[in-house]
Amino acid sequence: MKIELKNICKSFNTKSNTINDMNLTIEDGEFVALLGPSGCGKSTTMLMIAGIYKPNSGELYFDSQLVNQLEPKDRNIGMVFQSYALYPHMNVLDNISFPLKQQKVAKEERMERAKQAAEMVQLGHLLDRKPSQLSGGQQQRVALARAIVKKPKVLLLDEPLSNLDARLKIEMRGEISRIQKKLGITTILVTHDQEEAMTMADRIAVMKEGQIIQYSTPMELYKQPKDYFVAQFIGTPPMNFLNGSLSNHQLHLPNTIIDLKRRLLEHTDGDIDVHVGIRPHDLTVGSNGDVCVKGTVNLIEPIGHSQMVSLQVGNQQVRFFADLSTRIEYGSEIEISADISALHLFDPTTGKSLKQESAGKELIHS
């Protein structure tokens, strides 16, 4: 089912809008993540799609049918809550079959379908347990089975993985993706974990203070962030930032001056300060690249296949990855470099990217 939000506004008090004039289109069968820090309105957006909250203004369409005033029970949606919200007084089977019971599905068929759903999330052997007798991961699976049992048109996932431990998270991540692809169900995931959003979603809407900052595919967000906020939010470890300044297409960094090609930038006049972003993965030891940075090593973190090194550059930290074979010592001064195409430039006042759209596209394709 295609979901469209048009100029949606929602406020809980008269002072400010929690959601401000939001536009979002989710295609049929698409897996979209709403990503942002806590309090940015992503859960509110989801609850509006669920019908729990009604928007103050704007329109919400399901397959081009206006559903603003439709009650949640008539929307044919399934939802997994962060707290799982299982019914504690019912056993697993009753929990899963509850949505079918509300649709007045005959008992035999109901049990059959509930068992199928339970099987799909590998819970077949726990049907008689009460939620309190299950582990967090198992409760999560029950919640997922309950959400998909009635074959809803939309699946809403509200931070479904945040209460699981790291290993289980990765496991469930794969499982949810697999089920979503198998059922071809339009899915919306709310999360503050960019890794979760990156790995699972087809498209990500990065939100901040009730507005969508950028809405595109995970790779595009990573390679071509349109905004400083997106750039520092997406990617682990986060993008490194240095303060620099631009004048006449020359970029001044603490100890280097780089000549930028004209085509790389949106048109700018005069001298301005800029945030210069470089992803840790784009940096290598040595001075082979176009952009060289010198700094003092102040932290080395081995992570198995490589080591993550933090450099002190001026009063800023720069992280990069080094081969295990490279000998790096605490306190030593080393030089690292990156390709000029790996640079991201942002206007510090507006946060907008100064890189030309076309330049970015070229970089992605090359």
Tell me which residues touch another protein (CB under 8 A).
47, 50-52, 71-73, 75, 77-79, 81-89, 98-99, 102-103, 146, 150, 156
DSSP 193: -
Q: Which C-beta is closer to another protein: that of 77 or that of 213?
A: 77
Q: Residue 34: exposed, middle, or buried by beta-carbon count in 10 A (0-12, 13-18, 19+)?
A: buried
Q: Which C-beta is closer to another protein: that of 89 or that of 262?
A: 89
Query: In the complex, what is the shortest distance from the CB of residue 109 to another protein, in angstroms, rounded to a whole number?
Result: 16
Two tokens, residue 177: 């993706």
In this structure, are residues 172 and 4 in contact, taking their beta carbons and an 8 Å threshold?
no
Q: Which C-beta is closer to another protein: that of 70 or that of 363?
A: 70
Q: Which among 123, 215, 216, 129 is positioned nearest to 175, based on CA atoms? A: 123
Please name the residues in contact with 110: beta carbons below 8 A apart, sequence gap of 6 or more.
Answer: 97, 100, 101
Q: Which residue has the tokens 């605490």?
A: 330
Query: In the complex, what is the shortest distance from the CB of residue 73 to another protein, in angstroms, rounded to a whole number?
Result: 5
Query: In the complex, what is the shortest distance from the CB of residue 43 to another protein, in angstroms, rounded to a whole number?
Result: 11
> How many beta carbons lie within 10 A of that of residue 249, not counting itself?
13
Q: Which among 268, 254, 359 is positioned nearest to 311, based on CA atoms? A: 254
In this structure, are residues 44 and 188 in contact, taking their beta carbons and an 8 Å threshold?
no
Query: In the complex, what is the shortest distance from the CB of residue 310 to another protein, in angstroms, rounded to a whole number?
Result: 40
Two tokens, residue 267: 């048109």
Query: In the complex, what is the shortest distance from the CB of residue 17 to another protein, in angstroms, rounded to a whole number?
Result: 19
Q: Which C-beta is closer to another protein: that of 148 or that of 343?
A: 148
17 phi and psi angles, rounded to 5 deg: -90, 130
Q: Which C-beta is closer to another protein: that of 72 or that of 351?
A: 72
Q: Which among 68, 353, 71 is positioned nearest to 229, based on CA atoms? A: 353
Q: Which C-beta is closer to another protein: that of 123 or that of 198?
A: 123
Query: In the complex, what is the shortest distance from the CB of residue 146 to another protein, in angstroms, rounded to a whole number?
Result: 7
